[in-house]
Amino acid sequence: MTEGADRIRTLLLRADNVLKHAGFDETGVTDGRRQRARDALVQARGLAAEPGVDPRVGELVERRLAALDGLEGDGGSAG
């Protein structure tokens, strides 16, 4: 695995773990964790766009970002 691939994997895991341990209320993820997860995913998206990275990786990151938006619905679009 390349350094970039390792970094993308780490960022995806970070986002997943942040959300896994997040509290939820009626507006979705609380205490800034949504933004921390989004930040990790945005970094992963940037790395996934680099030349030589399998396009499926970028598609995966985009699906994760869309899922994060789905967690929030219309109630908290910070990002």
- Domain boundaries, given as residue ranges, for the chain: 3-22+31-72
**pLDDT level of residue 27 (50, 70, 90 thresholds):** low
| Section 18-46 average pLDDT | 80
Q: For residue 60, give the 3-state DSSP assignment.
A: helix
pLDDT digits (tens, 9 = 90+) for 34-62: 889 999 999 999 999 999 899 999 999 99
pLDDT at site 79: 42
Q: Is the pLDDT of residue 76 over 50?
A: no
| SS3 assignment for 13-56 | HHHHHHHHCCCEECCEECCCHHHHHHHHHHHHHHHHCCCCCCHH
Query: 3 versus 59: which is more confidently predicted?
Result: 59
| Section 2-12 average pLDDT | 89
